[in-house]
Amino acid sequence: MEADLRAVMRHFATGVAVATTYSDRADGRHHDAVTVNSLTSVSLDPPLVSLCLRLDSAFLADLLATKKWAVSILPDAARDLARRLAVDRARRAGTVGTLPATAGARTGALVLDSASWIECVLWDSFDLGDHTLVVGEVVAVDDRAHGPALVFLHGRYHTLDDPAQ
């Protein structure tokens, strides 16, 4: 069934985003960032969005500890960044350290300089099968100019630059 479900869901096109959070340790604040395509708008009043993260994700552990995160919606120009952040923590650390990003004023989580972004605080979380669904209350947004959208479909990245029909 798992293989069948994967095969079917490959036909569902999604956007691509970078989720960010951090952990505060004795030697200072450690930021982290991962590529996600499970971003969903849940509610407008109150404003809620969700992410679905693997139960054993190192990123998820930090997010649940800080209860704060941000998501930046990637344009096609950030395709390479999406690839470099879709790996384990040790391999993405160098990329995280040089992100063109600033700390969000409401959460401290990094928001990308050239993307539309959302800052969240934890509203609720639910362990569901092998993933955790985290629901965040939106505390800040910025809708910035961006180029053609980055789309994930059939296990690959695509550009969506058709004018709206």
Ligand X SMILES: Cc1cc2nc3c(=O)[nH]c(=O)nc-3n(C[C@H](O)[C@H](O)[C@H](O)COP(=O)(O)O)c2cc1C
| Interacting residues toward ligand X by CB under 6 A | 16, 34-38, 52-54, 57-59, 86-89, 152
Q: Which is nearer to ligand X, 45 or 130 (CB)?
A: 130
- In 3D space, the residue among 45, 108, 48, 100 whose CA is nearest the CA of residue 77 turns out to be 100
Report whether the peptide linkage leading into residue 46 is cis, meaning its omega lies within 30 degrees of zero.
yes
88 class by beta-carbon count within 10 Å (0-12 exposed, 13-18 middle, 19+ buried)? exposed
CB 124, min distance to ligand X, A: 17
| Cα 77 off chain centre by | 16
CB 105, min distance to ligand X, A: 25
Pull the structure tokens for residue 102: 């600033």
Q: Which is nearer to ligand X, 67 or 89 (CB)?
A: 89
Q: Which is nearer to ligand X, 141 or 157 (CB)?
A: 157
CB 45, min distance to ligand X, A: 25
CB-based closest residue to ligand X: 38
Residue length of the chain:
165
Q: Which is nearer to ligand X, 87 or 160 (CB)?
A: 87
